């Protein structure tokens, strides 16, 4: 049987890899892909906690969290890519460090 | 070691290796394909957690929709970033330090928790009734508020994405 700790460590590792991508990648599309990795790590955690600690036939808390997170991930990708394409049209770049229009 | 443990180790090695390639690969299109592999691996992890419904949803939503969307965005903005130059910021060692620190801290804090190594309870016969889940999602006694919040979020995101990506003619 797999102990809960394995899932939690895998999720932590995946989250940290995604965080590194968000902090270090230049291309903003790659930053969005790293955010997807982080959201997936959270989903692994939620489902592992559901399976190991809250497994009852009437409470669907874990499922509801995961479903809402899927919706959030889809919305985040759609809006993020729209912003990137819109910024690309006006500035002809996708490098995150060049998006300085909001800089004070 | 049991079969489930060996499968878990194989799947998680695939997920972690693919995730590292997503972050480090020089060409953005290859990074997207590695991301597809990582998302597939996460679906397999979901299947190991007896959440087969979410494994299928993962393949449908992430691999089917989100990966396609990302590849479209990559092809629309291709050729702007020079592939031969470094794809990481100058400050990437600090980012690595932050991530290693976060990982070490997370593992340390979790290892203090007394249920860190708990084993999974046996799956009850009726633990997986998706009809009941659907009813609970839309009933006022269940999770209607979360369901409506997700619906409003999706609507707002849809309107926002259409408005942002629309080509503004005439100015």
Record the pTM.
0.90
Label residue B56 by pLDDT band (50, 70, 90).
Answer: very high
Residue B130 CB partners (closer than 8 Å, separation 6+)? B53
Task: Decide if pLDDT at B95 tops 90.
Answer: yes
Note whether A101 contacts B: Cβ–Cβ < 8 A: no
Q: What is the pLDDT of residue B166?
A: 82
| Closest Cβ opposite residue B28 in set A23, A30, A56 | A30
Per-residue pLDDT tens over the stretch A66-75: 999 999 999 9
What percentage of chain B has pLDDT greater than the value 90?
Answer: 49
Q: What is the pLDDT of residue B78?
A: 74
DSSP 3-state of B153: helix
For residues B80-95, average pLDDT? 81
- The length of chain B is 171
Q: Average pLDDT of chain B?
A: 88
Interface of B with A in 110-139 (CB under 8 A): 110-111, 115-121, 123-124, 126-127, 129, 132-133, 136-137
Task: Decide if pLDDT at B153 tops 90.
Answer: yes
CB contact burial B132-142 (16+ within 10 A = b; e otherwise): ebeebbeeeeb
* Fold (CATH) for B3-83+129-169: 1.20.120
| Closest Cβ opposite residue A75 in set B15, B92, B154 | B154
For residues B16-37, average pLDDT? 93
Rounded CA gap, A27 and A24, in Å?
9
* Fold (CATH) for A4-98: Helix Hairpins (1.10.287)
Q: How far is CA B116 from CA A5, A16, A82, B32, in A?
A: 5, 19, 41, 34
What percentage of chain A has pLDDT greater than the value 70?
Answer: 96
Q: What is the pLDDT of residue A57?
A: 62
Task: Decide if pLDDT at B81 tops 80.
Answer: no
Complex ipTM value: 0.91
For residues B121-126, average pLDDT? 74
CB B142 within 8 A of CB B148: no
Task: Decide if pLDDT at A59 tops 80.
Answer: no
DSSP 3-state of B17: helix
- Cβ contact (<8 Å) for B31 and A30? yes
> Range with the lowest mean pLDDT among B12-26, B47-61, B156-170?
B156-170
User: Which one is predicted more confidently, A1 or B125?
Assistant: A1
Rounded CA gap, B133 and B127, in Å?
10
Partners of A27 in beta bridges: A95
For residues B98-120, average pLDDT? 90
CB A101 within 8 A of CB A88: no
Note whether B15 contacts A: Cβ–Cβ < 8 A: yes
Interface of A with B in 71-100 (CB under 8 A): 71-79, 81-86, 88-89, 92-95, 97
* Tokens standing for residue B155: 């609507």
| Closest Cβ opposite residue B103 in set A12, A24, A26 | A12
Which sign, positive or negative, has the C-alpha torsion B75, A91, A37, B13? positive
Q: What is the pLDDT of residue B126?
A: 67
Label residue A94 by pLDDT band (50, 70, 90).
Answer: confident
CB A94 within 8 A of CB B77: yes
* Tokens standing for residue B12: 């998680």
Label residue B155 by pLDDT band (50, 70, 90).
Answer: very high
**Locate tokens 């659907």: which residue?**
B134
């Amino acid at each position: 049987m797999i102990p809960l700790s394995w899932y939690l460590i895998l999720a932590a590792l995946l989250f940290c890899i995604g965080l590194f991508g968000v902090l270090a990648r230049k291309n903003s599309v790659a930053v969005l892909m790293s955010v997807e990795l982080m959201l997936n790590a959270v989903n692994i955690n939620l489902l592992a906690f559901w399976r190991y600690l809250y497994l009852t036939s009437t409470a669907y808390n874990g499922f509801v969290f995961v479903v809402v997170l899927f919706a959030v991930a889809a919305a985040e990708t759609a809006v993020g890519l729209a912003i990137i394409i819109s910024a690309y049209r006006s500035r002809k770049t996708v490098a995150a460090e060049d998006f300085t229009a909001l800089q004070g | 070691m049991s079969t489930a443990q060996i499968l878990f180790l194989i799947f998680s090695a695939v997920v972690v290796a693919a995730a590292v390639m997503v972050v480090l690969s020089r060409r953005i299109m290859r990074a997207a394909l590695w991301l597809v592999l990582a998302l597939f691996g996460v679906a397999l992890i979901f299947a190991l957690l007896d959440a087969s419904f979410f494994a299928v949803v993962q393949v449908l939503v992430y691999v089917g929709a989100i990966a396609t969307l990302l590849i479209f965005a990559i092809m629309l903005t291709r050729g702007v970033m020079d592939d031969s130059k470094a794809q990481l910021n100058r400050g990437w060692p600090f980012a690595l330090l932050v991530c290693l620190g976060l990982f070490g801290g997370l593992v340390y804090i979790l290892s203090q928790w007394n249920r860190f190594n708990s084993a999974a309870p046996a799956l009850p016969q009726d633990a997986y009734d998706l009809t009941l889940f659907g009813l609970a999602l839309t009933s006022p006694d269940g999770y209607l508020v979360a369901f409506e919040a997700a619906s409003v979020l999706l609507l707002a995101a849809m309107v926002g994405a259409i408005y942002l990506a629309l080509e503004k003619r005439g100015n």
